[in-house]
Chains A and B, each alone.
Chain A
Amino acid sequence: MITISPIERILRGIAITLVILFFMFPIFWIFLMSFQTNETILRVPPSIVFEPTMSNYSALITGKLETNAGLLEFEFMRNLWNSFFLSVSSVAVGLLLGVPAAYAFARLKFRGSEDIAFTLLSFRFAPPLLVLLPLTIYFQQIGLANTYVGLIWVYQLIVLPLILWIVRGYFEDIPADVEHAYRIAGHSWAATFRKIALPLAGPGIAAAGLLAFIFAWNNFIFALVLASADKQPVTVGALAFVTASGIQYGQIAAAIVLSITPTLLLALYAQRYLVEGLSLGAVKG
């Protein structure tokens, strides 16, 4: 047990408080904004004393907003569903393709395996806009523009390299002889992958899936270019609140709160897997 002097403890407390304030304040402020009207949000000087209203949330849920310029219609709930559907599907496809590929890259050293793995990683280096222009033209010609399938496919550019490289590391950390011991006891290569490698890399796969989900959820540019209103995720959908007659800050804040809630809950829930994943190294012992 390491003993800490009282002064050190106090200094640490202050430092942690400052960091938390710095990072949490914007989220806290957005949370407050989501219960205010545009008038109270924009008053000078700003104040945290206000009369809370649920109008932003009800407007988002009903999809109708009365503004002084007239009725504004949007499909926020649809966007939220799109985000959810696109992210979950992309991660599912990414795991389905990426986990076996990661296993192959970790266990089998074949000619050019490093080059292929690096090429897949390099998808993450390229600026998305560079890829998008030709991709849009192709997609329009083969009829994939503005379809879920097309979007999920493009999302693999984000999801697949991430899953592949994280999970590969976890597979490499499992001593090969643990799998050998299972195989020599009369099991096939495929059974070893299912029964030994997958469970042992489980926390790592969960961590990679979670991270990939967050990246997919936060994606903006692919969906902006390739999807029209009915396929758009929240990240793009929130643009609807920037109107010619003004910016609907209250709705934007409420939309942010609603759209970060799922990822936040997921991250909180999966935290223990992330920690478990990091301590997987104990297997080596």
Chain B
Amino acid sequence: MRPPVLELIDVDKVYGFGRPNAVRAVEDLSLTVNEGEIVALLGSSGCGKTSTLRMVAGFEGVTKGKIKIAGREIQHLPPAKRGVAMAFEGYSLYPPLTVRENIAFALKSQRISPDEAARRVAEIAELMEISDVLERYPASISGGQQQRASLARALVRDADLHLLDEPMGQLEPQLRALLRGRIKHFIHERRLTAILVTHDQTEANALADRIAVMEEGILQQYDTPAKLKDRPANLFTGTFIGEPPMNVFPARVSSSERETVFDLGSGVSLKYPAAIFPPDLRSRLSQESDVCLGIRPHAVRLVDGGLPVTVSVVQWLGDQTHIAAQFASRTLVSVIHDRARFAPGNTASIAISAEDLHIFDADTGVAIGHGKVAA
């Protein structure tokens, strides 16, 4: 069996190692990327995702741990010897060269024939919608065009691994949606392997086969977009993934033979027949007294005769309505797909199905159960 394209093994990155003001940017990161896969590193600013990418590229040293590309340890090699291509967040085109020369540049040093290089440049330029600016200089084209040129320069190369740092941050929404599809197709069609750094979860969901969610230098969860959404490993991924974010309620759980009750405080409780939870989840719950309940806004159903809530804010976003309401002395957000029938101050009633519950440990935030399944 062929080794995975990229392996990170217990990688640490500490800036200012050995000094009192040292910053631990990446901690014990282990990650595997298989051939033909697109992996997104997703997280907020300063979570260590760009540091990770630059360690793979070779612009940052590895404080501890190993990085392997195609089975070969590369953490001590210079960038030129690692067999990776990269699109930079700041575009970083060479100012004295035209866009065409910029894209063809790396092909020349890979000793690809001029005809073949010209063909590839034309193809990628068309894909990126920059055919008309190929003869211009980077300084004379827009930021969005520069970003696409920089992306083209990375994707046109033959490399074991393509690294894309915020590749679409500067593009307008329509173009972004169009290019996402094209890039995904381009990468899969050629069996390229890519790592994408982004803080935009829509982009990560749309492009990536697997997403690595990072926070404070620690890998929180590494899974498919669907699993991240349905089975978040902890409270952080639960609240980080999904728009609008998951509603979180601290709850006191009590189980009896017949019923499982989540007491949310303020006299509000969610009651479910004990039998709908599987035995392993029930036994976990019987050991806990305090948990955190996560409920996705899409899972909050407005029904007649449910639990009463007081509507506080209603926002119509053009294709859906976000309703914020007071529930158990906290704010509960619900999403419905038609225009709201409510105004602030109204009373509505809601229901939450047992399969839509995400149950997390109140202290550690680790998931205990999702819906009717133990984590």
Contacts and interface: CB of A to CB of B under 8 A. Distances in A.
A186 B80 CA distance: 4
A182 B110 CA distance: 13
Contact of A184 (B80, B93, B95, B110): B80
Nearest to A182: B94
A237 to B, nearest CB: 43
B242 interface: no
Nearest to A187: B80
Interface string A176-207: 11101111111111000000100110000000
Contacts of B109: 185-187
Contacts of A196: 94
A188 B77 CA distance: 11
A189 to B, nearest CB: 7
**Which residue of A184, A188, A282, A285 has the most chain B CB atoms within 10 A of its CB atom?**
A184
B119 to A, nearest CB: 19
B139 interface: yes
A184 to B, nearest CB: 5
B106 interface: yes
B95 A183 contact: no
A69 interface: no
A282 B138 CA distance: 11
B85 interface: yes
Nearest to A195: B94
Nearest to B89: A177
B371 to A, nearest CB: 45
A175 B150 CA distance: 14
Contacts of B157: 185
B92 A177 contact: yes
Nearest to A192: B80
B88 interface: yes
A48 interface: no
Given A180-B79, A180-B86, A285-B139, A185 B92 contact: no
B318 interface: no
Contacts of B82: 184
Nearest to B82: A184
Interface in B277-334: none
A283 interface: yes
B290 to A, nearest CB: 48
B1 to A, nearest CB: 28
Contact of A183 (B79, B90, B105): B79
Interface residues of A, number: 20
Contact of B95 (A176, A180, A182, A200): A200
Nearest to B83: A186
Contacts of A180: 57, 59, 79, 86, 88, 92
Contacts of A285: 139
B156 to A, nearest CB: 11
B92 A189 contact: no
A189 B95 CA distance: 19
Contacts of A185: 80, 85, 105-106, 109, 157
Interface centre among A183, A185, A199, A282 (most CB of B within 10 A): A185
A184 B57 contact: yes
B96 A199 contact: yes
B44 to A, nearest CB: 22
Interface in B62-98: 78-80, 82, 84-86, 88-90, 92-96
B149 to A, nearest CB: 11
A188 B109 CA distance: 12
B58 interface: yes
A194 to B, nearest CB: 14
Nearest to A284: B90
B148 interface: no
Contacts of B106: 185-186
B153 interface: yes
A146 B94 CA distance: 47
Nearest to B81: A186
Contacts of B89: 177
A181 B92 contact: yes
B96 A181 contact: no
Nearest to B86: A184
B92 A178 contact: yes
A199 B109 CA distance: 19
Contact of A189 (B78, B94, B110): B78
Contacts of B84: 184
B58 A181 contact: no
Contact of B88 (A181, A199, A283): A181
A187 B93 CA distance: 15
B262 to A, nearest CB: 50
A185 B105 CA distance: 8
A183 B92 contact: no
A282 B86 CA distance: 23
Contacts of B80: 183-188
Nearest to A183: B79
B7 to A, nearest CB: 19
A285 B92 CA distance: 10
A177 B88 contact: yes
Interface in A142-193: 175-178, 180-189
Contact of B139 (A176, A178, A282): A282
A180 B93 CA distance: 10
A283 B96 CA distance: 10
A181 B86 contact: yes
Nearest to B91: A177
A266 B85 CA distance: 44
A181 B87 CA distance: 8
Closest 3 CB pairs of A and B: A185-B106, A177-B92, A177-B88
Interface of B: 57-59, 78-80, 82, 84-86, 88-90, 92-96, 105-106, 109-110, 139, 150, 153, 157
Interface of A: 175-178, 180-189, 196, 199-200, 282-283, 285
24 contacts: A177-B89, A177-B92, A178-B94, A180-B59, A180-B88, A181-B86, A181-B88, A181-B93, A181-B153, A183-B58, A183-B78, A183-B79, A184-B57, A184-B84, A184-B85, A185-B80, A185-B157, A187-B109, A188-B80, A189-B78, A199-B96, A200-B95, A200-B96, A285-B139
